[in-house]
Structure 1
Amino acid sequence: MVRLKSPEEICKIEIAAKIVAEVLAEMESYAVEGASALDMEKAAEELIHKRGGIPAFKGYSGYPYTLCVSVNEEVIHGFPLKEKIFVDGDIVSVDCGVNKDGFIGDAAKSFVVGSYRSEKDKLLLQRTEEALLKGIEMAVAGNRVGDIGYAVQNCVESAGLSVIRDYVGHGVGLSLHEDPQVPNYGRQGSGMLLRTGMTLAIEPMVASGHYSLEILEDGWTAVTADRSRAAHFEHDIAILEDGPKILSSL
Structure 2
Amino acid sequence: MDKVVRSAQEAVADIGDGSSLAVGGFGLSGVPDVLIEALFRQGAGRLSVVSNNCGVDGGGLGILLAAGRIVRVTGSYVGQNEEFARRYLSGELELELTPQGSLAERLRAGGAGIPAFFTPAGVGTLVADGGMPWRYAPDGSVAVASPAKEVRVYDGREYVLERGITTDFALVRAARGDRHGNLVLNKAARNFNPLAAMAGRITVAEVEQLVEPGEIDPDQVHVPGVFVQRVVELTPAQAADKRIEKRTVSP
TM-score class, shorter:
under 0.3
User: TM-score normalised to the size of structure 2?
Assistant: 0.27
User: TM-score normalised to the size of structure 1?
Assistant: 0.27
